[in-house]
Amino acid sequence: MFLGIATVLFLVMGLARPHLPEASGPHLAPAFTGPSWLAGWAQWDSGWYHEIASKGYSFVAGEQSSVAFFPAYPLVVRGAQVVADDTYVAGILVTLLAGIAVAALLAVWLRSRLSPPAAWAALLAFLLYPYAFYLYGVVYADALFIAALLGAFLLLEMDRPLLAGLAGAVATAARPLGVVLVVGLAVRALERRGAIRLTGRRIGVDWSRARRADAGVLVAGLGLVGWCLYLWVRFDDPFAFATAQSAWHQGAGPETWLKFQFFRDVADLSSPRAWILFMAHPVLTVAAACLVPRVFRRFGPGYGVYTALLIGLSALSTKNFFGMARYLLAAFPVFAVLGELLAERPGFRRVLLPASGVGLVVLTAVFGTGYYLS
């Protein structure tokens, strides 16, 4: 299923994209030098990953710097250059392979928790999600991040907490919000031992039921710890990635949390296309948040806490919600409960999934022409 969708999207990038109007202004540096039919997969932040994989990290306080991007993905891309000489092509290959892993791992997770119709509906909803093109070839870290976190949860379900922690360390070295995974794994590990007790609205923990081996999930935090140590030694700032974010006007603070920029941007929207592309992010965020209570009820505190923190912290960290549509890809339990709803409502499923697939094709082409979508 994944490869079939990927074939369609690669054809869109290779055949349709060159005939569409390009976005104005420069948006990729260095320029794409690989086969022209692959060029659409390398846009915007792909240039930063190219620079890191090719030259390593740099940091200048107060300026946009490559340290804002975590190291796991560019390290793998650097290794993939043994197979693909071009850095961008190596990145496309890494994303595609990681995307295949995401599809396979998610299918395993869904099959163990949902009925077959619901599992298939959830998998289709995920793979046809309009912003899922980041899993099929875009030179971004999302596919590797999601593959690592899914692997971590599945290994924990197989009672391999240390291996789960090691897989989680890849995730925390891939994206800043990987730290949410550490919390989710820890809560799920306790939940599996029956150590979490729900009494009304109160949550208690019976630590006597926990096992020492379960502490292996905390190894997941080493990806972030290692990254901070590197930044401390190299640039004398263990949180240089956060410092660099301020150059994108994306730092933490009341203005970001209260979304002042969101209201300014809404006032400046001047076309229906701009409205749709901009408002998709807050609308999808609210829709996903509405499904979080059902995640708690269906899959328990571990997955519920993980999903709630992922959506909540992602939303808080954006100045105007832009980017949330991509970040929601990591909230895989939301797609699981959506799959159940679609299985219960065949009419809604017959409308939503084809419409989502059309949206995926359109946004893939639009992204490939250089428009910033997420």
pLDDT in tens, 235-247: 999 999 988 887 7
Mean pLDDT score across all residues of the chain:
92
**Domains contained in the chain, number:** 1
Instruction: Check: CB of residue 328 under 8 Å from CB of residue 134.
Output: no
Mean pLDDT, residues 305-315: 96
The pLDDT score that the predictor gives to residue 265 is 81
Indicate the pTM of the whole model.
0.95
> Cα-flanking dihedrals φ and ψ of residue 202, to 5°?
-100, 145
Percent share of the chain, pLDDT over 70: 97
Instruction: Check: CB of residue 197 under 8 Å from CB of residue 248.
Output: no
Please check whether residue 373 lies inside any domain of the structure: no
List the domain range (segments joined by +) for residue 202. 2-368
Cα–Cα–Cα angle for 200, 203, 208, nearest 5°? 130
Predicted confidence (pLDDT) at residue 19 exceeds the cutoff of 90: no
The pLDDT score that the predictor gives to residue 199 is 66
Least confident interval from 110-124, 220-234, 309-323: 309-323
The pLDDT score that the predictor gives to residue 148 is 98
Per-residue pLDDT tens over the stretch 138-193: 999 999 999 999 999 999 999 999 999 999 999 999 999 899 999 999 999 999 98
Instruction: Check: CB of residue 361 under 8 Å from CB of residue 12.
Output: yes
Mean pLDDT, residues 270-285: 88
Predicted confidence (pLDDT) at residue 220 exceeds the cutoff of 70: yes
Q: State the Cα–Cα distance between residues 332 and 297, nearest whole angstrom.
A: 15
Please check whether residue 374 lies inside any domain of the structure: no
113 CB contacts (<8 Å, ≥6 apart)?
A: 119, 298, 299, 336
Instruction: Check: CB of residue 148 under 8 Å from CB of residue 104.
Output: no
219 CB contacts (<8 Å, ≥6 apart)?
A: 162, 165, 166, 168, 169
The pLDDT score that the predictor gives to residue 90 is 97
Mean pLDDT, residues 248-262: 72
- Tokens matching residue 128: 């046809």
Please check whether residue 164 lies inside any domain of the structure: yes
Q: How many alpha carbons lie under 13 Å from residue 150 in its C-beta half-sphere?
A: 24
Q: State the Cα–Cα distance between residues 161 and 152, nearest whole angstrom.
A: 8
Query: In terms of residues, how long is the chain?
Result: 374
Instruction: Check: CB of residue 55 under 8 Å from CB of residue 79.
Output: no
Please check whether residue 18 lies inside any domain of the structure: yes
Please check whether residue 327 lies inside any domain of the structure: yes
Cα–Cα–Cα angle for 326, 251, 169, nearest 5°? 55
The pLDDT score that the predictor gives to residue 201 is 66
- Tokens matching residue 161: 């907490």
Distances (CA, A) of 210 to 104, 187, 190, 303, 366: 30, 11, 6, 18, 50
Mean pLDDT, residues 10-31: 85
Percent share of the chain, pLDDT over 90: 74
End-to-end CA distance of the chain: 24
Please check whether residue 238 lies inside any domain of the structure: yes
